[in-house]
Amino acid sequence: MWKKNFLFRASEATPLKESENELFHDTEPAMDSAGLTFDKFLSVWVQGDGDEEKPSAFTNVYVRTATLDVTKQVGFLQPLQGRSHQIKQMLTPDQKQFLRQWLQTHAPQAWESSEDHFRDLFELE
């Protein structure tokens, strides 16, 4: 199975260099938000058939929101959402466009082999 994570600041169209695992792996869940300065993030997981190096088709997308106090390394990671209407609502038009272009550019054959319902997630409405 192929998978890739794109971690966006909530309002930005270009993902961070770090993945969700790199940024949130060592964080503790916040028990109280007093004194914390949170940044909002949107984590997008794309899965596909193929090996870890190259997908042969994209199959699934999952999105979740997260808030993190980067300085204190505490935060909240929400459950993954996998329903089409949720994903379409959570992603901004610029994020959809970035993801579509990245997927088409880095694995054009996988993009073409993906089912319509997958590609429709990245259509601008």
Considering the entire predicted model, what is its pTM?
A: 0.88
Sheet holding 39-50, edge to edge: 2-9, 39-50, 55-69, 74-77, 28-29
Per-residue pLDDT at 82: 86
Using CA atoms, how far apart are residues 14 and 117, in angstroms rounded to an integer? 24
Q: How far apart are CA 107 and CA 120, in angstroms?
A: 17
Distance of CA 13 to the CA centre of its chain: 11
Pick out the chain residues at pLDDT < 70. Answer: 26, 28-30
pLDDT in tens, 12-48: 999 999 988 888 776 766 677 778 888 899 999 999 9
